[in-house]
Each structure stands twice: as structure tokens, then as C-alpha cells.
Amino acid sequence: MHTYTEKIQNLAKDVLKQGKAEMVIGFKQGTIPMAANPFVAKNENDADNLIWSSTCGLNLANYLPGIKKCEGKIGIIAKGCDSRNIVTHIVENKIDREKLYIIGLPCTGMVDKKQIALLFDDEITQFSEEGNTLIVKSETKEEKINKQEYLRSNCKTCTHRNPVIYDELVSDLVEEQIIEDQFADVKKIEAMSSEEKWDFFDKLTEDCIRCYACRNACPLCYCPTCFVDESGPQWVGKGQNTDDIKTFHYLRAYHCAGRCTDCGACEEACPMDIKVRNFTRKLNKDSLELFNWEAGLDISQRPPLDTYQPDDPDDFIM
Amino acid sequence: MKIIKIDKKEWEQGLDKSRKEYHLFGAVKDKDYYLIQALGDKVYPDMESSDTILSPKSVIFPQTEKMLTANLDEAQDNHHIMERVETDYSPRAVLGIKPYDAKAFKILQLNFDTEEFKDPYFCDAYAATTLVGLAVNNPGQFDFSTSVDTGPFDETDLDVLLIDTGNEYLAKVITDKGENFISKCGFDNQTDEKNALETISKLKKKAEKAIVSTVSHDKLNGKTILELYNAPFWDDIAFSCINCETCTYVCPTCWCFDIQDETKDKSCIRFRNWDTCMSRLFTEHASGHNPREGKTQRVRQRFMHKLKYFPDKYDQGLMCVGCGRCVKHCPVNIDIREICEQMNS
Amino acid sequence: MGNLLEHVGIEKERVHFSWISSAEATKFVDVVKKITEKVRALGPNKKLKKQYN
């Protein structure tokens, strides 16, 4: 069991008992290995089901706008990226800070489930972790691997593991990573020619089935009607046409500009293992380079795309 | 019943012979995972593969399928008249399909191919297709096929069932379509039926015994629709759902589609796409009213359809073949087995 | 906007931004001339052009 599990359960029980919040959003153990199921604990008994593990890779901030019936506060377990998306929700007036009771969780990274699955020819039947060691079993073999080597790629370059906003913490803050070159992956694409770039993204999106799991796992995507679902006018065709598929991915990315916290939920959710962060990463790099901006760090700051500063970069204007 | 012995060394050679008449489909490793694909020259199906992410339903019922075209040029005689598009329905064979995935086509037929209504696109594609199954000797942990009236050796909708015995396949030829395919491959080493059936029966028992995942649904029939519909657990089940469409797209038995028209200049095309009850748009009326506005209603619909409405209407068991794809690929781990148990309890 | 388009393989010279007041007719003409020259040099665009058939 992860050392955080018991602490989360105790904190949640206390929060519910003392009425600090009416419910606590967290994860419960999944029904299959390496799965965690987002779950809402409404009473102390429920709180016994809360868990933590390196497979809790979805972003719980995604569930906040959907909660309609809650008189009191909403409790939420928030790792670094979740907390940044909570900040984004607050800044975008999706939810009041006052409405939340945030249990901050200093994170040590989430694992790349698909990469771990590749170590095996057969299905993984058991997964557990002891500190930094992951113990993964299938019918035919057992692997003990170092968690740091199997982190999701967004966790490898994460510099905000600690929650940026919280009412209480699950543990002491962890040391933040120092990343020498945060955008090496983006630079690699930037160095390509136009044709190479085009082919790269062609190949990237070729297996997309338009299930919209990337969009729906993303806390930023809360529009009542998404542009792909509009019928008058219909902005994007609905078939498996490659240009329509790419249009969806480009526009989804634009909608995340200056808002994306690189939480990786989109890639985590994709059933076809499409690395959709290749789109948003470029925008994150630009936000940082052009506006010195990282999303969701401070509830008193407006994001660059809804403010104007006289010194905003304008060299693209001819 | 004819049983043919196929030496694995001759398998690919046989497939090459069949290519003169058949387009071949099979599981191919693409990037890091398996997909069902049309096999180009010298490409062979990976018979050792685990489940493909998407089921083979797309071979007969593609995600996007052209149906009709029309010419909008009023100078032409046939303008504005919808005509069926020409589609290649020459023989095709799906190789190594899992028996439960094949059974799913029987379920799809209840929608597309009935006495009263025949969907020409589905029927023509189905008629053109030979299903060459591969018995599952080592079922995975997600496989609960034996709980839902099929199983690792189910022959219900197969034309040929291959059984892997190590160095060779035993090919149980089930239909005339199957007979034709096997003969076009040049496989003709007929083997002693009694011995072969015994081997097959042993492997079948072993495989069925190896299935660890089960689901009970015996009490669903006795419950009323309203009892299940109004059950208290739906909000809790639906809480974690992000309303993506993965479960319905990976499902071999989900059959809903949506029809779209696209027009450019003087030409118009009508096509259909897989649709999904997970989407809000699925039930939105032109007035703006939506009978399934919230995700709880949509999640409930999916499970009620598969586990209650369908069995009640058709009396053919559940609308599920136990492949486990939705369990494996759901980003938030909503597990149909758990929900079925909850509904059944 | 332009940066992501360039990033996914649309040639930089195809997408231009300018700020022109309704009173700046000559600037408008200049900009349009420059753009057409640049785009003509690239030739016809084949990307993101949906094939309907």
C-alpha cells in the first residue's frame, strides 16, 4: 500500500466528520491492475475506500464543474497539476475558492502504464509499489522496476509536483525537480522542415478514433457544447476524414493555450496511445517564452490571453 | 464436419494462394499495439496477438461508411437523386478472429439483417466475409466470454475454427464459405475426425477452465425495467465517467450509427459514422430538449441497453460477448462486470 | 496562432497577421501585395484541404 493511502483516508474522515467538506473527491482501487477509479467519498465509511498510487494519473479537477448538488464545501485530493487546474477553474470563474476544501498531495510522479505494459508479452496481473520500486507481475514473469525510469513523460519534466493551493497537506512538501531543458521534445519538432512536421503529425493522429477521451479527461474542456458537436454551423466534419481529425486536434490545442498545466490526463485517457501533448506542449513553450507564463500558479493572475500589456510580443504583425 | 491439419510452416504460403480471390484482414502490430487491418502483399496476420484495441466489427461495419451520392448539377438528368455508392464487396476473409468477436456479428445481425429490414451495406459486407476464427487457448484476465453464452472455442458465427496445437493448426471447417476459403488456400490434409475432435475437446475444456473472470446475470430477467432504471446506484457508477466514447467504439456489439451529408460544389455524399449513447448529442432534439441530458442517464442507458433492454427484446442473451475491451480501455475503469453484478444482486 | 500552425507543418509564409486601420488604404495594399508574393512563391496549398468523395 502506498504510504499516502492511510493518510488520505484519515484526513478525509476528519474532513467529513468535522463538516469541513460535504464530500471528498479522490480515487478508489480499480478493478484491474494499474487502474484507479475516481470516486467521491460522502461519509466516513466511504473514506475507507480512498487510495493513492502512482496510477492515479487522471486530473480530479476535471470533476469539479460537474458537481451540482453540494450545499457545503467540496473536498478534493489534489496533486501538483490538479491544484493548478483548480487555480485555473477559480481564475476562470468555474468555481469559488470558498467552495473548496483542498487536500494537497505532494506528488512524486505518475507511471506510464503503457510503457510498463510493453515489458510484458502477456497481460499484467498484479501491480504494487514500495517506495520507488514498482513490482509488476504477469502469469509468466515478475519485474521489479525503478519508478523514476517509468514516469509519464509529463511527470519527467514536471517542476510543480507540490500543490500550489491547499487547505491541508497529505505530507511534507517534496523537492521540486530541476529540469535542464524542459522543452527538448518540442525543440526536436521545431527543428524539422514543414514537410517533416506535417508527416509527423499525420502519423501521430492516424489511429485517432475520435472518442474524445483526450478532450473529456481535460479539466480545461468544460464548454456546454464543444465546437466539434455544433451542428449550425458545423465547424468540423464528423467522419474519419484525416483533415477533420487533425482539425479537431489543432482546435482542441488552441483552446488550451495559456491554460494547459501539462497534467497528462489527455494522454493517460487516450485508448489509442496518441501523444496528444505534442500539440499543447508547443503552446506551453510559447506561453513561457513569450509571456513568462505557466498556467495555474496564482489565483490573482489573469492568463496572458485574456489580458493586454503594452509590451506583449508583436513581432508577428507585419 | 471436415477437419484439416495445417502445418504452420505452410500457413503463410496458403494465405498467399488465397489472395487471388480474397482480401485478407487480420491483427497487425502497429506502433505498440494490435489493430485489425487489411493485409497488404506479404503482410501476414499476427496469430499470437492479444486482443486488438478495436474489435473486428469495422471489417463489416466501418466507423465511417459511404452510403449514397448525388449530383447537384441541375444541367444533368439525374441531379439531386441519391444513388448508392459503388463499394468493393469482393470476398474478404478475417483471419484469427477470436470466437467471441465473431459471435458479436450474430448480435449485430439482429439489428442490420432481419426478416423485415435489411441494411444493404451490412448485409453485402457480411455476405462477402469469411470468418476464420482462432480458438483462444490461453484466455486473458479480461475475458469473461463463458459467462455470456459464448467462449474461447465458440463456433456460432465462424466459417472455420482454427485450433493451435503447437506446430500445426487443426482447421474445423464449419460452413461452405469456410470450405471455399480453405480449398483456395490449398489446405487439404484431412485428418482423422475422431482423434482431432478429442484433442479439440481437451483444449477447449482447458481453456474454459482457465477463464478467471465471471459475471452473473441470472436474476436480471426477473427484475422489471423500472426497478433497475430507478435503482439507487446509477449516480455513483456514473460519477467517474468522463463521457468519452471509448467503451462504445471498442465494443464489438455496439451498433448505433449517425448519418451525415457533406456537400462540396456540385457533389453530395451521404455517409454514416459510428454513433454513441455516451455523447450528449446522441439524443439531443432539434428543439434543444435532451431526454438524456446528464451523464448519469447516458451511463445508465449503455448498461440498461446491453444488460436489460436487449435481452428483454430479443431473448438472445446479453448484448455483450465478454471480450473485456471496455473494461481494459476505459480511462476511469468503469467495469461492466461490476455493474452487471450490481444490477443482478 | 501562427506558431502552432507553423509547428504542425503549415509553411510560415502562408499565414500572416497585420493590424490595419480602415484609413490605411495604402498599407492594406502593401500588405496584400507582400502576402500574395510570398504565397505565390510557395505554390498552391495542399494541406488541410479536405477531399470530398
Claim to verify: residue A169 and residue A208 sit in the same structural domain = no
Q: Which chains touch A (3 or more CB pairs under 8 A)?
A: B, C
A270-307 confidence digits (pLDDT tens): 999 999 999 999 999 999 999 999 999 999 999 998 89
Question: What's the confidence (pLDDT) of residue B319?
Answer: 98
Best residue in B137, B236, B242 for a mutation probing chain A (most A CBs within 10 Å) = B242
Give the domain extent around C8.
Answer: 2-42
Claim to verify: residue A100 and residue A246 sit in the same structural domain = no
Domain count across chain C: 1
Q: CA of C41, closest CA in chain A: separation in Å?
A: 15
Contact B281 A238 (CB under 8 A): no
Claim to verify: residue A220 and residue A262 sit in the same structural domain = yes
Q: Measured between CB atoms, does C21 come within 8 Å of chain A? A: no
Claim to verify: residue A251 and residue A201 sit in the same structural domain = yes
Cα separation, C13 vs C16, whole angstroms = 7
Give the domain extent around A100.
Answer: 1-109+160-179
Contact A239 B335 (CB under 8 A): no
Cα separation, B235 vs A183, whole angstroms = 41
Question: What's the confidence (pLDDT) of residue A153?
Answer: 96
Residues of chain A with pLDDT under 50: none
Claim to verify: residue A28 and residue A102 sit in the same structural domain = yes
Residues of C in contact with B263 (CB under 8 A): 52
| Contact residues of C toward B, CB < 8 A | 52-53
Claim to verify: residue A42 and residue A96 sit in the same structural domain = yes
B167-217 confidence digits (pLDDT tens): 999 999 999 999 999 999 999 999 999 999 999 999 999 999 999 999 999
Contact A209 B335 (CB under 8 A): no
C53 inside domain: no
Helices A194-205 & A242-255, crossing angle to 10 degrees?
Answer: 100
Claim to verify: residue A167 and residue A295 sit in the same structural domain = no
Claim to verify: residue A168 and residue A240 sit in the same structural domain = no
B111-139 confidence digits (pLDDT tens): 999 999 999 999 999 999 999 999 999 99
Residues of B in contact with A113 (CB under 8 A): none
Q: What is the mean pLDDT of residues B268-288?
A: 95
pLDDT at C53 over 70: no
C24 inside domain: yes
Cα-Cα-Cα-Cα dihedral of A59, B291, B272, B117, to 10°?
140
Residues of C in contact with A200 (CB under 8 A): 9
C28 inside domain: yes
C11 inside domain: yes
How far, in whole angstroms, is CA B122 from its chain's centroid? 13
Q: CA of A89, closest CA in chain B: separation in Å?
A: 17
Best residue in B29, B240, B268, B338 for a mutation probing chain A (most A CBs within 10 Å) = B240
Claim to verify: residue A228 and residue A175 sit in the same structural domain = no
Contact A240 B273 (CB under 8 A): yes
Claim to verify: residue A173 and residue A241 sit in the same structural domain = no
Domain count across chain A: 2
Q: 10 Å Cβ neighbour count for B84? A: 13
Q: In what order do the strands lie in the sheet with B83-84?
A: B83-84, B64-71, B267-274, B257-264
Claim to verify: residue A104 and residue A40 sit in the same structural domain = yes
C47 inside domain: no
Best residue in A188, A250, A318 for a mutation probing chain C (most C CBs within 10 Å) = A318
User: What is the CA angle A266-A272-A278, rounded to 5?
Assistant: 45
ipTM: 0.94
Contact B53 A30 (CB under 8 A): no
pTM to 2 decimal places: 0.94
Cα separation, A19 vs A16, whole angstroms = 5
Q: pLDDT band for B94, please (50, 70, 90 cuts).
A: very high
A149 inside domain: no
Contact A36 B50 (CB under 8 A): no
Q: What is the mean pLDDT of residues C12-32?
A: 94
Question: What's the confidence (pLDDT) of residue A314?
Answer: 86
CA-based nearest residue in chain A for residue C53: A241
Q: In what order do the strands lie in the sheet with A124-130?
A: A124-130, A133-138, A142-146
**Burial class (CB within 10 angstroms; exposed 0-12, middle 13-18, buried 19+) of B48:** exposed
Claim to verify: residue A166 and residue A201 sit in the same structural domain = no
